[in-house]
Amino acid sequence: MAIVSRYTVALHILTWLAYWSEKDEFFPSDRIANSVGTSPVFLRRILGQLAKAGLVLVQHGGTGAGWKLARLPEEISLLDVYEAVVQTPLFELHHSQPNPSCIIGNGIQPALQTVYEDSEEALKRRLAQESIRDLVASSLEQGKQ
């Protein structure tokens, strides 16, 4: 299957927060939900992961409660977000155990592990090159057309 839409939503949240970050405010999850088009509860689950990763700050209680970026948009890479939100390895190995008395069945999993790790690294290197700041710029550019 694919990389969960949760990642897309996380990027949307951060891009939105970055766009409004000049005002030094905390924004409640249902204001963000209005842009993303999904439920505030779903967003808070993701925001919780982003907070644990140190990408956003949360303010509890009171009228001004909500969320804001913990760093400058240019200091949050898409890889940071990936690692905050996607915990599982990109490739799955066998669900059932290969036959260990077959020479291929015995050696294929460690062989694949190496290739899989290298490939996932290639993906991550690419994600590391892009920041939330880039996404804001690119979204504004695309949105005006």
**48 is a contact residue toward DNA (CB under 7 A):** yes
**122 is a contact residue toward a second copy (CB under 8 A):** yes
- Can you tell me which of 12, 13, 55, 66 binds DNA, judged by CB under 7 A? 66
Site for DNA in 4-23 (CB under 7 A): 4-6, 9
User: Of DNA, a second copy, none, which one does residue 138 interact with (CB within 5 to 8 Å by kind)?
Assistant: a second copy
Three-state DSSP state, 27:
strand
Count of alpha carbons within 13 angstroms of residue 18, beta-carbon side: 24
CB 9 within 8 A of CB 46: yes
**78 is a contact residue toward a second copy (CB under 8 A):** yes
Give the separation between CA 36 and CA 18, rounded to whole angstroms. Answer: 14
Residues contacting 24, CB < 8 A, separation 6+ = 68
Q: Nearest to residue 78, comparing CAs of 145, 18, 140, 141?
A: 18
Residue 38 beta carbon to DNA: minimum distance, rounded to whole angstroms: 4
Two tokens at 100? 């260990």
**64 is a contact residue toward DNA (CB under 7 A):** yes
Give the separation between CA 51 and CA 55, rounded to whole angstroms. Answer: 6
Q: Nearest to residue 56, comparing CAs of 37, 29, 36?
A: 29
User: Of a second copy, DNA, none, which one does residue 40 interact with (CB within 5 to 8 Å by kind)?
Assistant: DNA
What are the residues binding a second copy (CB under 8 A)? 1-5, 7-9, 11-12, 15-16, 19, 34-38, 78, 88-99, 102-108, 110-112, 114-115, 118-120, 122-123, 125-127, 130, 135-136, 138-144
What are the residues binding DNA (CB under 7 A)? 1, 4-6, 9, 28-30, 38-42, 44-45, 47-48, 51, 58-67, 88, 92, 94-96
